[in-house]
Structures are given as C-alpha cells and as structure tokens.
Amino acid sequence: MKIELASSYGFCFGVKRAIRIAEEHKGSKTYGPLIHNKDEINRLKEGFNIGLAESLNDIDADDSVVIRTHGIPKHELAVLNKQNNKVIDATCPYVTTPQQIVEKMSEEGYSIVIFGDKNHPEIKGVVSYAVNPKDAFIVLESDELEDLPLSSKVALVSQTTRKPEDFLKIVNALILTRKEVRVFNTICNATFENQDAAAELAKRADVMIVIGGKHSSNTKQLHSICKRDCEDSYLIENEEELDPSWFEGKKLCGISAGASTPDWVVQNVINKIESMKK
C-alpha cells in the first residue's frame, strides 16, 4: 500500500505564529486552548511551562496571558487589561479581520450576519464586537435568515474555517431579500488550500486518514470533504487511534491534517501505518 500526503495540509500561518508566541513566553498561561490539538498543547506545557486557563477565574492578576488563536470576547479582553495582566495577543490575524469588520459595520448601522457555529470560540469572539448585540445574528443555514429582524442594510462575514460553497448560499439568500448587502469573505486561504488538496487526493485514495483535534472545525470540515469521495475516511487525533483493519486490501492511503496539527504528529501517524504494512 502506498501512502500519499495531500499537497497542502497541517499548520497554517496563524497556528505557527501562535505557537512561536507561546514558546517565547515561557511560564505564561493561555486563555482557552491555544489551538485545537491536545498533543501540541501538552508539548507546550511540558517543554515551555505553558499553563491553561479555562476561564477568567483561573487567571491571577500577575499572570502573563496568551490570547488563543481563535480570539476571545471583547469584554473578557477588557477584564484582563483592567486587571493589568500582561496580555500577549496570539489571535490569528485572519480572525482579527472579521472582529474589526463587525465592529465597524455595526457602528455604521448595518445588521450583522455571521456565518458560523455559535458555540465555536472564534464566533463567540467575533460577535462580541457588534456595537448592538441585538442586531448581530449567527447562522449556519440560509433558512435561518427568514425569521431574523434584519434591517435593509446587512453586512456578512464568515467563520474562517467554513466551506466557501456554504457561505455562498447565505450570500445568495441575503441578496434576494435585502436592499444592501456588504459581503466580506473572511474564510482563510489556508482553509481553501487544505480542503482542495484533500478533495483531490480523496478522489484517488482507497482510504483517507485526516489528522486533527476532534473539536477542530477545520479538521471536521476536511473529514467531511474526504468522506464525499472516499467512504473509508477516518478522523483521528494521533497514531494511537489507528485501526489495522482500515488498511486491509487498500492500495493508496491518503493523509491530510487540520490547521492545528503539527508535523511531528503527522509523522508519527505515517510511521505507525508503515509499521502496520510489515
């Protein structure tokens, strides 16, 4: 069985930047998991003494706090600044952009529509930048727009890791019903590249292994995309979850990885699959 990596996979610019920032601030705490990969978080804890604060109650006044790649709500950032914590912002610039757009467009009187998962930390941060919270709405499906009290002017942004074709459905639905629609495509280019590469490989592969955090939106999207063309597609966090039966009778094993998956985890998976072939 041949093993082939997708032409684009793994760490994106924002994740690489966040990890570098965390490594430069040994002994600090991240507010929320820095990225959606528990193995990399454990590496930072063991090698750089990076702690984890799950809530503001876990942060002392003298703590240095690294803001996670997904960002945090605006009011929580204000609390940290008021406490005089040393705040190190590792928010991905691609996440900062929709935050700024939401703030600016809501100040100009636009209703805000955010395409994304309301429970995702990125979206919780983005929506908090709306000047009037009652005029900001989070949707995942176009039919959710029907009952929303939107004004005639709407500004639309997307979670950085959503599928472009799904974003387009929201765009089309708004254009048909609203007088003015400002569309800001805030989906990350790295997401496009990883998704396209995974889709191309899945069309040829007999089995696809997608590596990444089970809570990672972009990794789950990759798995969904692979599943469309390769039924035997599996989402794992590390090599310990591999099942030898997945590879029986297969000729080509494709591998992709989410934007929060480090190369060393990918290599561990490859090594384990190679050992299964012997």
Active site residues: 122
Nearest CA among 243, 220, 98 for reference residue 159: 98
CA distance 5 to 202: 11
Structure-token pair, residue 148:
């929303």
Give me the sign of the Cα torsion angle 136, 141, 142, 145.
Answer: negative
Helix and strand element counts for the chain (H, E) = 9, 12
Residue 66, C-beta contacts closer than 8 angstroms, at least 6 positions apart: 18, 21, 22, 25, 28, 29, 30, 31, 34, 50, 88, 90
CA distance 41 to 119: 21
Only one residue has tokens 């789950």, namely 220
Establish whether 253 is an annotated binding residue.
no
Structure-token pair, residue 120:
């995702």
Establish whether 70 is an annotated binding residue.
yes
Taking the CB of residue 3, how many other CB atoms lie within 10 A of it?
A: 16
Establish whether 12 is an annotated binding residue.
yes
- Helix ranges (DSSP H) in 137-231: 164-177, 189-202, 217-229
Establish whether 64 is an annotated binding residue.
no
Establish whether 245 is an annotated binding residue.
no
Establish whether 25 is an annotated binding residue.
no
Binding-site residue positions: 12, 36, 70, 92, 120, 160, 188, 216-218, 260
Known binding residues for dimethylallyl diphosphate: 36, 70, 120, 216-218, 260
Binding-site annotation: residue ranges for isopentenyl diphosphate: 36, 70, 120, 216-218, 260
